[in-house]
Amino acid sequence: MIEITSHHRDQMINITHLVARHISEQGYSNGVVVLFVRHTTAALTINENADPDVVTDLLATLDKKIPWQDNYRHAEGNSAAHLKSSLMGSSETVIVRKGQLQLGTWQGIYFCEFDGPRRRQVDLQWLPSAE
């Protein structure tokens, strides 16, 4: 498990280095790592990690499409966070070869916070290769 602390209501946190460290510490070599977030107002995604404006644009577009206030019926007042989470998704799967995440040159793994700030967890499940 990876623990994450968000500092804003909406935030995308690059967790690639935390996943890579977990794989290294566990001594995983070849297989697949599945990441899963057990929070209904958070998500995971893989996207560009080179230009921080990509994250800014993603969050801004989600806010335009899913405004925080929009006559929602959910009593807790965080319906927008639930909607964003559902659109982004709760899991990611990444191939690992020789202990290295097989991500593209500009790809990073992001934890998406939509109801922060909070302390959150991402579960990791290792599936070793049959090779």
pLDDT above 90: residue 70? no
**Tally of CB atoms within 10 A around 112:** 27
Using one digit for the tens of pLDDT, what is the confidence trace for 86-107?
999 999 999 999 999 999 999 9
Closest CA to 31 of 119, 112, 101: 101
Instruction: Compute the mean pLDDT over every residue in the chain, rounded to the nearest whole number.
Output: 95
pTM given for the model: 0.95
DSSP reduced 3-state for 95: strand
pLDDT above 80: residue 36? yes
Using one digit for the tens of pLDDT, what is the confidence trace for 5-19?
999 999 999 999 999
Between 16 and 130, name the one with better pLDDT: 16
CA distance 19 to 127: 14
Q: Are 131 and 26 in contact (CB under 8 A)?
A: no
**Tally of CB atoms within 10 A around 103:** 16
pLDDT above 80: residue 50? yes
Which structure tokens are listed for 4? 């994450």
**Tally of CB atoms within 10 A around 128:** 11
Give the C-alpha distances (Å, rounded to integers) separating 106 from 20, 49, 70: 15, 6, 35
Q: Are 26 and 125 in contact (CB under 8 A)?
A: no
